[in-house]
Structure 1
């Protein structure tokens, strides 16, 4: 099996786990979202730390959290990802998984917009068209259902800002996420102690729920590791297209399994978003293809130049 095939399989596996994760968190609906989040944080830390220990990379983690400049960025990233995790868990428990899937659909478009506003990145006409269509989709839901899809917007925005912050960190995904949950773990531990000595936490009272809470760590870590493995072996355009498996499966869980309402207004909004994503993905694919072609031409010119120099130096 080629590296490309392995990368695609790893990416599909990661996005499938993420896409079906609503089923997991729906099984924890009897537990408050903050308690689930606290356990997810602590068990993720335990699993990630074990992975880094087996890879003999704990010193890299220590170096990351020892640098004050990095810690500030890591702390901000930790706030963004914990907010994102909480909103996702909350949306599943209160029957708004459709909004969650919409949030992860529009995330790439929000990320592009953040790049334009914060980093001054130039957008193509196709990218602007996709962003406008997504905005119309959100507006149609707001007017048609008389609600602001704030869960979708917050999920997309927190994940977009999280990605922006990660660009400032010269760390691998496993090390950076471990550092983030390490910073969050004291807060999570204090909250769980408060629950168990006050209102009464659920951990240890029920075997199934206890096992599920412990599984939240590997469920967080495994797809991230798979995604990282796959992304290193694939082009950016391929990663961008395959990752839509995640919100598509979330959407399927919300409508087909959880039975959440999906009327004409939802249909119009999602049709606009899907159209926007087709436009955006096509544009990204063309840009990635052009970059690879330019790189190949540049490499070929270097080879020719080197060969010519060698031929000249070989002359008597």
Structure 2
């Protein structure tokens, strides 16, 4: 009877929560075989496939659900999550090419504006992340303002601060960071963005204290809301622009990952090292770009050109020759 049918759904929901895709799919299939397919079984199938990262199958189940009820906002929302995950947004970081975003954004918005809207905390954070990455500061601000009103967290305040900062509302960014700091005074990203904000507001002493705090708490280039420049890179740039090179170097150095150095961070660090006449370390840092799997041909060519010029200044003829040959090979390599 009814109890047995819902038991499969309950078991399937539990399996989905454990990311046990085969069990979840089996439960939904048995339920559908006994009772005929329903919206509940379609949504359960989709949830199971999403948990197992079977994105095509997930969207197929959701499309079937939307044929039955084209206003089913939960199905639109889950479809948005499937695109967000499949396109690599959870692992996206600053300085990388942007994955596609239009489909996920469109579906998140449609779900949140439906007659019976579906708009949970995770969806708001992900939509805000997409808006920030695509430089839609005003839209990002609106999403994070709503998130801070409905379910405030350090993360929602950080998102709002980033939207305000990049949208030119630096005072509002400072207020949002103060709120985030109250909820979690140990969030390194909050302290990092606060460093940038303090420099822009001419609060240099506060910026120095915030930099120290951000580095102590382990700020890295793994960011919640990547924009086109890393937080550490933006921090370094603020200090460098004021001639405060040692503080700039602290920020830049923290952003260099030994195994996969980001070309933008290496370039910023090397440029600052040249300013303080640390030419040997600058050459070594430019060389990291050449070895990086993430660098474009143009970035490698520019880095090698710098290696040649600096090696010449250092009167290291062997290095001039070495980097010169590498530059020649790069320029004459078949496309």
TM norm structure 2: 0.20
The structure that has the greater radius of gyration is 2
Pick 1 or 2: higher relative contact order, CA cutoff 8 A, min separation 6: 1
TM norm structure 1: 0.21
